[in-house]
Each structure stands twice: as structure tokens, then as C-alpha cells.
Amino acid sequence: MRYYFEDCVLDTDQRELRRKNSLVSVEPQIFDLLVHLMRHRERVVTKDDLLTAIWHGRIVSESTLANRINAARSAIGDTGNEQRLIKTFPRRGVRFVAAVREYNGEAKVIPPDQPSGISERPSIAVLPFLNLGGPAIPTIS
């Protein structure tokens, strides 16, 4: 599976992170943390979730956890101050909040740095209406 976000590609099959088309060296634990956050981006991931998934139940300190999250942010070009990709929710957990496109080999996905062929100009789509309310009520004249 490949996840495209901002100027990054996270490839779970190759276990690679690329940023601006350059390979980023990340520790296996940081890579696993990014994958876990990516796969569960629809919700806030708690400390307990991370301890189970990444540390396999081992107890780690708050500073170790914060250090790993900051290392993940740094690897993808985010910071603890900006939090535009990985957001911390105090006393709740963290969540991957950036827009993500997935590619699993079944459909063509255009990487973020290639032109999509879609115009940047606004456009209008006209769609037919479908009556979902049953027959219309006749008016009395």
C-alpha cells in the first residue's frame, strides 16, 4: 500500500518513506508509527493504542513516546508547533490529519509532484435531479 500526502509517499510494501522524491531514512519503529497513524487516521489514536501496536505492550515513558512522535513529524516535514500533519490532542492522543490518497496497485494514482491534467480553473457540473419524494402534489388554480 502507498499513502500519498503533501510531498511524501509512504510505501508499506517497500518500507520506504519518500519526501520530495528523496528517500528519507527512518528507524523501523518510526516507520511503524507512521503506518499505524496513517491506517487509523479517521480517529484519535491513544497512548494505549500506540503501546499495543508499536511497542507490543511494553511500557515506555511519556518522553519516549513524545520523542518518537516528534521524530515521525520531522521525517514527514511537520513540527510540534505546526502540527499540520500529525496533531496532538492533549490527554487524548494523536491523529494524522493531512489529506491522504491511497494506492494499492489496483488504480492509477498520480503522485503529488506530477501534473494531474485537471484544470485549476473553477468548473460547474450540471446533474439531473431525481425525485425522491414521491408524486408531486397538484396545485389548485
pLDDT digits (tens, 9 = 90+) for 76-128: 999 989 999 999 999 999 999 999 999 987 655 555 554 544 555 565 666 56
CA 110 to chain centre: 16
CA within 13 Å, CB half, 94: 27
According to the model, what pLDDT value does residue 102 have? 92
CATH architecture of 2-103: Orthogonal Bundle (1.10)
- How does residue 2 score in pLDDT terms, banded at 50, 70 and 90? very high
The residue extents of the domains of the chain are: 2-103
Q: Is the pLDDT of residue 51 over 50?
A: yes
Which residues, in sequence order, are CB contacts of 106 under 8 Å at separation 6+?
none
